[in-house]
Amino acid sequence: MNLAVIPVAASVSEWSDSFLERLPLVGRDWLTSWLPEPWRWLVNSLLSIAVILSVFGLLFAYVTLAERKILGRIQNRPGPNRTPIPFTKLRFFGLAQPFADGVKSLTKEDVVPRGADHLLHFLAPVVLLAFSILTFAVIPYGRHLVPVELNAGVLYFFAAGAATELAVFMAGWASRNKYSLLAAMRALAQLISYELPLLLAWVPVVLVAGSLSTTEIVAAQAGWQFDIIPHWYVLTPWGAAGFAIFMIAALAESNRSPFDLPEAESELIAGHLTEYSGFKYALFFMAEYFGMIALSGMAITLFLGGWHAPSPYLEFIPSYVWFMGKLSALLLGFIWIRATFPRLRMDQLTRFAWKFLVPLALINLGNAAFWSLSLHWSGPLQILRWLISVLVVVGPFVLLGRKLSAGVAPRVYRYAV
Amino acid sequence: MTAALVLIAVFTLATAAVALSLRNLIHSALLLSASWFGIAAFYLWAGAEFVAFAQVLVYVGAVSMVILFAVLLTRRSRADTVIGPDSVARAISAVITGMAVFGVLGVAILKTSFTRFSPAGVPALPGGTGVSPVIAAPTATVRDIGIQLMSTHAAALLIIGILLTVALLGAVVLAAQDGSESKQESP
Amino acid sequence: MSLDPLPLCLLFSSALFCLGLIGALARSNTILVLLGIELMLNAANLNFIAFWRYGPATSPATGVMFVMFSIAVAAAEAAVGLALIIAVYRHQKNIRLQEANRLKG
């Protein structure tokens, strides 16, 4: 459970082990140095848990605020901006808003329907939150910051994520509300459908990196071409396709728009959340954002080079800052997508997963196999390698897309120009 | 070590027993998922990391979902998830059978001396009483498992692949409705 | 009772097996019977892991391999079994085992 010290990757520059890089470790050792040896391990572990919880708790709070602000801007309104710092009149663009929300949800009445299954109704948000926090354990946040080193880290991540589906079902069923149950069925169908492309999207990465351990996958993406182009998997044809599939499936897995059918406000009155209020509702909300953050972190680890800087000249910025920067960029993308796309219909949703994403992901797996087989090609063969790989990505995409959209003419909106 | 094992065993057995005796099918399915978690915990305890995660991924992530779907698709009203009591005679005979099997297995296990399973080099104790020496835990890293899957067990892997494909197709064919008017989701 | 880990593991797995057996025999709901069978399969897997951990040294990952294949087979079994249950339900609006005794539709 220690913050393990990883053997530094091959491309070590002078900055890679600077003071800033080691700062979290130094701080931890300074805090726990007075403890006797057998206790230090335990306290170190607890400390890493506390740091993860507080950092991501704060991130959650401010992602909600950022989401409301950005959605507001996109929809031409200011968003929340009136919450002052307590006992002062300083507003600071509503920066205290998340804490006001927290206090509100804590003090609200907790309504449980009379016919509800009380135990399950209580357990659902707890289970959901617990499992979404568990997924944070294996993500490498920086060069020296991996909470748990696991041989099968990626598998652990998705195993812990798999249990969240159960919690969504528990919530929907325990509420004793037909809309909630409908939403739970929808959620199950959606989560099962998108679990498959999500899993198939990262298999190529494991294939090429040759490991299921998150730290080794990040280490495999070290280095730069011409000091500018990093060796991230997203910059290969199969990696770009895998990243796109992964992010689409991640959107669906975290019930975000445009895949937010299970909690569609307008048709299912918020689905499995209908009968939840007060703090339990806040827990659901929190778990959803934690899931989104964790999946983004995994996407960064698998495709975007983890904590690696994009260029050796930028390595003086510590690795955890790079990780957080990439994370913020992905979260911004999530928010932007929410503001842009309309919701899918149920049949479109499942058809999209089974007929489009799954075949593409399978083809992509073959593409990655070709990529790792042609690793030693050089000179003009290198160009051929890229050409074949790009063709294998683009060809099926165009053909499948044509076939699926055949007969569905582009819609003409008579009154909208 | 042993205390942890006993704890895991008690948790798994208790949840499984309650799950199989409840009358509410949904509660049964959910409690059984807890029991599968207990089994995954046992695998972790024994050092089989990969299998533990696979267990959670397959059982908690997939099989329990399929079961919940089946429960919800085979009922007409909410009350249908609570099934009527089964016959007492049947239950008693089942418990007697189960207990008899457990008795036979338990006696067999307790009577057997496991010392001859000790690794080479450590001689089996004559007339051993089941006191096996401490054995270093075998390790199976993901790399080992992968290499074994691709070499020794390659044929088995292929057969499993075919089996899973056939099972998928079979499940779709079985569960699909006869008429062509409705598109049913396969579980 | 001896306190060795291996006999303890084996006792645990045989208890789980017998629980699954009792469940499969005593209940008349098809889904519960299937769950009982799944438990029995899991108990067998426990044995594989126990012998892999404490048994005679064979090639390093054989026990793990067995469990992996067995999990895959169990998943296939669950999918087909539950599809069968849905087919039976559509046919006679009931999933009690005693009533699913006609070979002819």
Q: What is the largest CA-CA distance in chain A?
A: 76
| Residue-by-residue pLDDT tens, chain B, 187 positions | 788 888 998 999 999 989 888 888 888 888 998 999 999 999 988 888 888 898 888 888 888 888 888 888 877 666 666 766 667 888 888 889 889 999 998 888 888 776 655 444 444 444 444 444 455 667 777 888 888 888 888 898 899 999 999 998 888 888 776 654 444 444 4
Identify the H or E element spanning A224.
Answer: strand A224-225
Task: Reduce the DSSP state of residue A230 to 3 states and report it.
Answer: strand
- Based on the domain organization, do B96 and B78 belong to the same domain? no
Residues B36, B62 share a domain: yes
Rounded alpha-carbon distances, angstroms, from residue A218 to A7, A205, A230: 12, 10, 12
Do C86 and B25 count as a contact with CB atoms less than 8 A apart? no
d(CA B67, CA A286): 28
Last residue of a domain, one of B65, B82, B99: B82
Per DSSP, the three-state class of A11 is: coil
What does the pLDDT read at residue B135? 54
The verdict on B23 and B64 lying in the same domain is yes
The residue behind tokens 């008795």 is: B103
Nearest CB neighbour to B174, from listed C5, C74, C83: C83
Contacts of C70 in chain B (CB under 8 A): none
Q: Are strands A229-230 and A224-225 parallel, antiparallel or unpaired?
A: antiparallel
Distances from the Cα of C89 to the Cαs of A114, B70, B76, C96, in angstroms? 31, 10, 11, 9
pLDDT for residue A122: 87
Residue B119 forms part of a structural domain: no
Q: What is the DSSP string of A12-48?
A: --GGGG-HHHHHHHHHHHHHHTTS-HHHHHHHHHHHH
Regarding whether B37 and B77 lie in a shared domain, the answer is: yes
User: Looking at beta carbons, which residues of chain B come within 8 Å of A181?
Assistant: 72
- Contact at 8 Å (CB) between A311 and A228? yes
Contact B37, C53 (CB under 8 A): no
What is the residue-level pLDDT of chain A in tens, covering all 417 positions? 344 444 444 444 455 567 777 777 777 777 777 777 777 778 888 888 888 888 888 888 888 888 888 888 888 888 887 777 777 777 777 778 888 888 888 888 888 888 778 888 888 888 888 888 888 888 888 887 788 888 888 888 988 888 888 888 888 888 887 788 888 888 888 888 888 899 899 999 988 888 888 888 888 888 777 777 888 888 888 888 999 999 999 888 887 778 877 666 666 667 777 778 888 888 888 888 998 999 999 999 988 888 888 877 777 778 888 888 999 999 999 989 888 888 887 778 888 888 889 999 999 999 988 888 888 888 788 888 888 888 888 888 888 888 887 777 666 777 765
Residue bearing tokens 């120009």: A417
Which chain A residues are within 8 Å of B70, Cβ to Cβ? none
The domains located in chain C, with CATH, are: 5-99 (1.10.287.3510)
Residue type, A220: A
Look at residue B149 and tell me if it is in a domain. Answer: yes
Chains B and C touch (3+ CB pairs under 8 A): yes
- Amino acid C42: pLDDT: 92
What is the pLDDT, as a whole number, of residue A23?
A: 76
Neighbours of B144 (CB within 10 A): 18
What sign has the CA pseudo-torsion A38, A40, A46, A49? negative
CA distance B156 to C68: 11
Out of B67, B164, B171, the one facing C35 most closely (by C-beta) is: B67
C37 touches chain B (CB under 8 A): no
Best mutation target among B15, B35, B37, B65 (most A Cβ atoms within 10 Å) is B65
Residues B73 and B97 placed together within one structural domain of the fold: no
B53 shares its domain with B16: yes
What one-letter code names the amino acid at A317?
Answer: I
Q: Do B61 and A162 touch (CB under 8 A)?
A: yes
State whether residue C3 sits within 8 Å of chain B by CB: yes
From chain B, the residues in CB contact with C12 under 8 A are 5, 9, 12-13, 42
Q: Give the chains touching A; criterion: ≥3 Cβ pairs < 8 Å.
A: B
Residue of B nearest to A164 (CA): B61
Interface test with B, best of A212, A345, A347, A372 (most B CBs within 10 A): A212
Residue of chain B with shortest Cα separation from C34: B67
Establish if B120 belongs to a structural domain.
Answer: no
Q: Give contacts of B 108-127 with C, CB under 8 A.
A: 109-110, 112, 114, 117-120
What are the b/e assignments for A124-144, b being 16+ CB within 10 Å? bbebbbbbbbbbbbbbbbbbb
- Identify from C14, C33, C37, C47 which residue to disrupt to test chain B contact, counting B C-beta atoms within 10 A and taking the largest count: C14
pLDDT in tens, C31-90: 888 888 889 999 999 988 888 887 776 667 788 888 889 999 888 888 888 888 888 887
Residue found by looking up tokens 């050792």 in the block? A29
**Statement to judge: residues B68 and B10 lie in one domain:** yes
CB-CB under 8 Å, B57 with A159: yes
Domain membership of residue B145 as a residue range: 140-177+183-187
Contacts of B172 (CB under 8 A, 6+ apart): B186, C83
pLDDT at position C3 is: 61
Range list of β-strands (E), chain B: none
Same domain, B33 and B3: yes
**Which residues of chain C are within 8 Å of residue B82 when distances are taken between CB atoms?**
none
Domain count within chain B: 3
How many angstroms separate the Cα of C39 from the Cα of each of A112, A115, A327, B168?
34, 32, 41, 22
Report yes or no on B147 lying in a domain: yes
- Pick the residue of B102, B118, B150, B151 with the most C CBs within 10 A to test the interface with C by mutation: B102
